Amino acid sequence: MYILALNCGSSSLKYKVFEEDTLKSIVSGTVEKIGLPDSFVTQKYPDGTKQRKDVSMQNHNEALGVVLTLLREASIDMNAISAVGHRVVMGGDKYASSVEVNDEVIKTLTELSPLAPLHNPSGILGIVTAQQLLPNAKQVAVFDTAFHQTMPDYAYRYAVPEAWYKDLGVRRYGFHGTSHLYVSKRAAAMLDKPADKCNLITAHIGSGASMAAIKNGKCIDTSMGMTPTAGLTMGTRTGDIDPSIVLYVMGRLGITAEQMTTFMNKQSGLLGLTQCSSDRRDVEGNKDTDDKCRLALDVEVNNVKKYIGAYMAELGGNVDAIVFTAGVGENDDWLREQYCSGLEGMGIKLDKKLNSEALARKGYGDTVISTPDSKIKIMMIPTDEELVIAEDARAIKRGTYNPDHLKMDYSFAKLNSKQR
């Protein structure tokens, strides 16, 4: 039997098939450019081989149909898929854990779509399509926001009229929760401490980026807000800005709310600062000759340091480890060094040699990259959101799921060969 993990983005679909009993990855892939004429799917196998298929896919319904065809060609029996785990970006404050999908769940997710208009509609479509194409499989929703629902009210409430909170849902939700959950469990295992005894600062830094403060295994604050636009400087998103800027620019330029949303989410961040690229590799490659690139990186590094300092304060200075993950966090040793530079007085000491070697793209798994005398350990841990999705789906299917993630028996919460 198999578990299928699905991650539906606004114009993409990622998937991975696991053996149900062993949770061994069998095949994975990504569909890109859904809705465009040059859409394609790339399927990957454990031996490293890849298969690409160029095919027009106008929506997620068609995309999932193509994926299932490729899985059949890879000898995956559709009748053997016992559960499908779906990544859902916005669960609001309705869901603090993963749930089996039913009509009421779909209704609630539809009602929450205005809070995540680029992601929830595609996620819902993925669920409905999977229900139709895989009617015998249990459908499970795994929420980006769930891990952050342990935040205290003073962390998630904004200082705005109470009616905005009660009637419009204006509050901090946080995102990347599945990734923060995974790396926090791995960090606890590496520390050889129970997860509920660990205080961590986790940094999921990719094109989108967020950080979380974790006290005794539970999230108490996170950098993203009501939407994924807030917090750190990102590839194309603003991160934190003065809210009055939005009103000022809209008035001066005469632009609509929709146009402003595009500016803040797709034309800002590193791209807005450099005017040339949102990719850190390009920006770093030009930092010594292009002052805009230098500035963009300095802004990003400064913001990461500010959040580290803020979360150190929230955790009372009692921090076991800082964890870097996601595309940049796992593979950009130069930026990791910049994030940690100058923090030695706070007990954060990076080992430059270990840091330069610890690159996920070169096969490194969970790695401590701090010096032996560093009061706070620094770690690079490759995230595995699909494994979390698969484990939650399997547990709900088997009736063994515990909505309290600290009591859930996750396989990855144990030390294994991934650690170096």
Report the chain's terminal Cα–Cα distance, integer Å. 32
Name the DSSP letter for residue 258. H
- Alpha-carbon dihedral sign for residues 365, 320, 210, 371: negative
Q: Which residues pair with 211 in a beta bridge?
A: 203
Q: Considering only CA atoms, which of 274, 323, 320 is closest in space to residue 298?
A: 274
DSSP bridge pairs for 66: none
Give every CB contact of residue 31 below 8 A, 6+ residues apart in sequence: 12, 13, 14, 15, 39, 40, 41, 57, 63, 66, 67
CA–CA gap between residue 170 and residue 190 (Å, rounded):
37
How far is it, in rounded angstroms, from Cα 78 to Cα 71?
8
144 labelled catalytic: yes
Which residues have a Cβ under 8 Å from the Cβ of 77 and sit 6 or more positions away?
2
Q: Which of 54, 144, 196, 240 is catalytic?
A: 144
Tell which residue, 206, 207, 156, 203, has the closest CA to residue 184: 203
State the catalytic residues.
Answer: 144
